Amino acid sequence: MTPPVDTAFEAALRRDRLIVIAALVAVIALSWAYLLAGAGMGMSGLEMTRMSQHELTGNVDHAAKMHPAAWTPGYAALMFSMWWVMMIAMMLPSAAPLMLVFATVNRRQRATGRPHVAMAIFASGYLAAWGAYSLAGVLLQWVFERIGILSPMLVASSDEFVIFLLLAAGLYQLTPIKQACLRYCRSPLDFLNSRWRPGAAGALQMGLLQGAACVGCCWFLMALMFVSGLMNLYWIAGLALLVLLEKTIPGGQSFGRAIGIGLLVASAGVLALT
């Protein structure tokens, strides 16, 4: 006996969701495993985290032994891979609702005989946007190291630089641009309904657009890793959690503004201590 169409569709939809969830969990787990292993930096992520924490708390005995790395093409490629995997580990958890909504819409397209594409193409566009951000992060890292405001442990070595980052990130959280990008990230169904493009090129374009919105939403928060150390796992996990909360919880936009106010208070606190 042939099952009812609605039942068959719901079963296929559940299967698609399980596949997407399994794929996301696998990619996130592999990304975090890469960071825990040290991202090719010659020591584990936990060791680099401890050294970053020592430097943040003023105990520089460990960090003082480090020497600035030579910026060869190989090292630049290593830094890019570290940045990009770090962005994937931090951003994919908050992008999970978007991927699930895309899978649902895509399944409905397929069920009605309209063009549909593989989830991987859409996800590739999303991750490419963060790849572009990662490239910008590497270039900034190189500049900051060259002018001496980033230590060999990739921790901000200038109080003025820390104050600037905290102040700028706090102010950006309160801007209309940030709030508009956050609305896009919090409403994936509205985005897909208004921006749906058919075919593989269309899916790639949608992924790039949504990824660009997420970059616009979170780029200054991600830049705060220059304060803590780029491989400080505590800060990586903490920032990832903040991004996840502001994108998913009720009242997330108010929560985002609260983060901004908190960052402004933190910048004032650092200023008072200098």
Q: Which residues contact 74 (CB under 8 A, 6 or more apart)?
A: none
Confidence of residue 17 (pLDDT cuts 50, 70, 90): confident
pLDDT at 21: 87
Quote the CA–CA distance of 221 and 117 in Å, as a whole number: 32
Lowest mean pLDDT among 35-39, 154-158, 168-172, 242-246: 154-158
Backbone angles phi, psi at 150, to 5 degrees: -130, 125
pLDDT in tens, 61-96: 554 455 677 899 999 999 999 999 999 999 999 998
User: Contacts for 6-10 with beta carbons within 8 Å, 24 or more apart?
Assistant: 9/107, 9/111
pLDDT at 103: 83
Question: In terms of residue numbers, what domain contains 136?
Answer: 5-273
pLDDT at 43: 85
pLDDT at 230: 86
Quote the CA–CA distance of 81 and 87 in Å, as a whole number: 10
**Greater pLDDT, 197 or 132:** 132
Contact 205, 125 (CB under 8 A): yes
Quote the CA–CA distance of 255 and 268 in Å, as a whole number: 20
pLDDT at 231: 86
Count the domains in the chain. Answer: 1
Q: Read off the pLDDT of each residue in 240-244 and give the average, rounded to a whole number.
A: 94
pTM given for the model:
0.87
Tokens of 151: 């230590």
pLDDT in tens, 193-208: 887 787 888 889 999 9
Lowest mean pLDDT among 1-10, 166-175, 265-274: 1-10
C-alpha distance from residue 144 to each of 27, 30, 147, 206 (Å): 30, 29, 5, 33
